[in-house]
Amino acid sequence: MKIFSITLTVLFLLILFIYLLITSNRETIKNVYCLITNIITFIMSFLVTKLIIMLFGNKIVSNISSMIKQGLKITKEEWIKDSSIELVTKFLSTIVIGLLGFFILFIILYIINHLIKRLIFKINKKEAYGRYKSEKKNNKFVNILIGLGSFIIITFAFLYPIGTVFKIALDAAHNVEYNFSSNVEPLFKNPIIRVYANSGSEYFFDQVTNIEEKDIDIKNTGELRSVVTMLLSVIDMQNTNHINNDVGKIKEEFSKTYLAPIFISELCSNAATRWKNNQPFMGYSIEIPDNSSKELYMDLLDIMSKWEREDLLKDIDTIFEFYNILNKYEVLKIENTKELINALTKEEFNEEIFLCLFHNEDFKSVLASFMNYGLRSILEQFDIDVDVEYVETAKIMKMSDEDIKNEARIFALTIKQLVDISEAIGENISKEDYNKIVSNLNEIKDSELLNSSLYKLINRLLRSV
């Protein structure tokens, strides 16, 4: 890639030298004409491209959407809404139409202008500029400046998409502190590419390809930058220890983009709806476990099945906060139920998890499922039928933060007590340890969320110690 970068630079400079050499030996009036017509060609190409998108863009998008759906054999039940397919298609199509349209129009108009120039100067060779030619023929400095202006306009018309793509990639890499591989890095540091990447190419790219959706002006460069940043963050997570930073960047960029939340929310919604009913989604099925975690699975799928764009943006904050808490306490590294139960005995861990779920209205029911899951995981060790609700879900809705913190403390104490009872059964424990277990029962009894059936169950287990 380093050789390619050097070759690209040398080739570009060679073309520039040849172009300036030609213009320096050409009559100044011809160079002025070329500069003016190149500017007009550039402007006309831009305006006509925008006009085509305004007049025929929706029709083109509709046809492309139909071809995509037919080609992939997509149905609403297995994929996402037709409106979302059309929105994503609109996003991609306007980029393709904008870039190709401008590119083709610029070439056509450039050729037409070149033919007109030849015709004009051929007819008026002696009369129009013969005297001017003899007087100004050797003004090479002016010719070079004018030629440089024309060269910049022509090359910008062809290279601004490349400059935009590289600028987006560079910005995204800088944002996530991502280092490109040694093979690719020289290309991104190429001086020619850097010049065009920072010469307004992004602004022009947006002007040619922007779309409007529900009175929202969607900047395609912004959408692309967010997507590239998220992709680089995912790659960085797999190769480095920047997990917290990368997760934060994914969350931040996901909130900035308009299209991704729409597409992903409908994708997740349809997937969750089908999985709840034991149906495959795009050929992929999940098996909902018939054990202590079933309720938690079903509540999460129920939330996902109702997702729309705004719901996803709201819930994604909770999901990432939940992930950060699990990562903080190294719960993600847990490999068995025993280690999970030990984690649930930590008051600080429970308090953060409880508050995280409690602060999102949709996830308050998940908090109850999480508590039931923790209790059932340990009660299964006693060979007890655990298909029982131990948590008063309705009461969660009326609680304050302080109430939830207290319930988190009691929950951790309850799990710890069940662990102690489990370890004490069949063992000779001291009277002091036994009395300590008994004394904790009163705190469990004071819980507003843990119902009386759990208190009675623990009492019965305690008698077997």
What length does the chain have?
Answer: 465
CA atoms of 265 and 248, how far apart (whole Å) = 19
Q: DSSP letter for 333, please.
A: G
Instruction: Enumerate residues 6+ apart whose C-beta is below 8 A from 79.
Output: 72, 85, 267, 270, 282
Measured CA to CA in angstroms, residue 358 lies from 374, 393, 397, 405 at distances of 17, 11, 8, 10
Q: What are φ and ψ of residue 211, in 5° steps? A: -130, 160
Q: DSSP letter for 363, please.
A: G
The tally of CA atoms less than 13 A away on the side-chain side of residue 97 is 25
Name the burial class of residue 270, with classes exposed (0-12), middle (13-18) and buried (19+) by CB atoms within 10 angstroms of its CB.
buried
Measured CA to CA in angstroms, residue 328 lies from 322, 333, 338, 346, 459 at distances of 10, 11, 19, 13, 34
Residue 229: which region, alpha, beta or left (left: phi > 0; alpha: psi -120 to 50)?
Answer: alpha
Instruction: Enumerate residues 6+ apart whose C-beta is below 8 A from 71.
Output: none
Q: DSSP letter for 282, please.
A: T
Measured CA to CA in angstroms, residue 330 lies from 8, 316, 334 at distances of 49, 21, 7
Q: For the chain, list residues with pLDDT below 70.
A: 1-2, 4-5, 65, 68-83, 86, 122-138, 179-186, 188, 211-217, 240-244, 385-387, 425-430, 433-434, 437, 440, 464-465
pTM: 0.69
What sign does the dihedral 314-317-318-319 (CA atoms) show?
Answer: positive
**What pLDDT digit, counting tens, does each position of 161-208 carry?**
888 888 888 888 877 777 665 656 667 677 887 788 777 888 888 888
Q: Are 208 and 164 in contact (CB under 8 A)?
A: no
In terms of DSSP H, where are the helices of 335-451? 337-344, 347-358, 364-379, 393-396, 401-424, 431-445
21, two tokens: 């050499």
What ranges do the domains of the chain cover? Answer: 2-209, 329-463
Name the burial class of residue 229, with classes exposed (0-12), middle (13-18) and buried (19+) by CB atoms within 10 angstroms of its CB.
buried
Tell me the sheet residues that pair with 212.
Answer: 217
**What pLDDT digit, counting tens, does each position of 427-460 carry?**
666 677 667 767 767 777 788 888 878 878 887 8
